[in-house]
Structure 1
């Protein structure tokens, strides 16, 4: 019985030593600073493949200019994949991007980059 009392007091002493002071613990009343939400950016694009030709339309509804590029991966190993030139899609502007393969198209995507215009 005496052994359990000494074990209990030793455990309580260790817990008191290991616990951080009250000031070190965060208070629930203090709200943490939240990061500002990211600025909306990026034109919405839709693409259409007709045979070996690709057309993409990108509309930018945001105030920041978006640099969009059309990328085309062709299905045949000997057919060259293409990366189109960057086109600036200004605020409330729609741009058309075109490209083609000699034969079939495997995949199409549009990349975006923030421009400082």
Structure 2
């Protein structure tokens, strides 16, 4: 009788273990892929400051690659012209300041980064 009880308990334990494993595998398959949130190895770290209608971005590049940075300013009023700065190349260990403005209030500010390519014509 004892051997039969052990066998039943063993089969029940295996069934529970298999059901749990199947449930975990289903959750893993349904979960979205995890992304590495590290910036690319050329992207300068930047911060922005908005003072009234003026915007300044301060960027420092700690990476060995050159980052081409642009400042984008969106103005609040419909008649106020949004602006994009000229691209600025921020080389390794370099620092750059970019500025922009609106006539009245600023709605949004953002920066775009792009790896600078060699323009030597290769």
Common fold: TM-score over 0.5: yes
Q: Runs of 5+ in structure 2 lacking a partner? A: 1-38
**CA offsets 1:1-57 (integer angstroms, 9 cap, x no match):** xxxxxxxxxxxxxxxxxxxxxxxxxxxxxxxxxxxxx96220010000000000000
Q: Runs of 5+ in structure 1 lacking a partner? A: 1-37
Correspondence for 1:58:
59
2: CA distance between counterparts of 1:40 and 1:67?
Answer: 13
2: CA distance between counterparts of 1:40 and 1:96?
Answer: 20
The runs of at least 4 consecutive aligned structure 1 residues that moved more than 3 Å come to none
* Higher relative helix content: 2
TM-score, with normalisation over the residues of structure 2?
Answer: 0.63
Taking the TM superposition and a 5 Å limit, the aligned residue runs for 1:5-24 are none
Cα 1:86–1:39 shift into 2, 3 Å: closer
Larger Rg: 1
TM-score, with normalisation over the residues of structure 1?
Answer: 0.66
Size of the aligned set, in residue pairs, is 80
